[in-house]
Structure 1
Amino acid sequence: MQSITASEIKQNSTLLQNALKGDMLVTKREKPFVVIVDYDRYLELTNKQAKSNNWIEKSFGVMSDVEADMLVQDIAQSRVNKEIDLWS
């Protein structure tokens, strides 16, 4: 990751073109200020984050559509008192 100061960007905005080659860390007063990434990379990172934040998938796994349909059919067939069943 390339590191650059905010002052350098103000003086030479063409340095931002380097963000297309790789991530850039912009510092202000020698402290990290902002990270500049290519838009496609940003989308990739946000998609990964959304997937990793899905606690249901982490905890219980993912069921395919076919498996979900089979489960619904099994539940429907195994109901005894359909009139008073909460699932009806």
Structure 2
Amino acid sequence: MPAAAVTQRVRDVFGNPFSLLTADAAWLTSTVLALAAGIYESRDFSAMPILADALQEAGCGNDDILTHCRDANGVHVRGCWVVDLILGKL
């Protein structure tokens, strides 16, 4: 596997090591939780932009989280830090 691909996967799992994030309980609406759980279980990350929209509607204004979800060139794998953050798996 090329080094760039490995780097993308590591970033997806660990996020920014210099930024400690927590999920605000207000963001954890039934819609956000259902989307995150569906993504986690199916390993289909095509709904990440929809998850970003749901988070934003719930009051999330964190650029790291929203940008990660909306990154069209991003690689997502099971263990994605945003999905795990929402589901309390971190």
TM-score using structure 1 length: 0.22
Question: Which protein is richer in helix relative to its size?
Answer: 2
Question: Which protein is richer in strand relative to its size?
Answer: 1
Greater RCO, CA 8 A, separation 6+: 2
Bigger radius of gyration among the two: 1
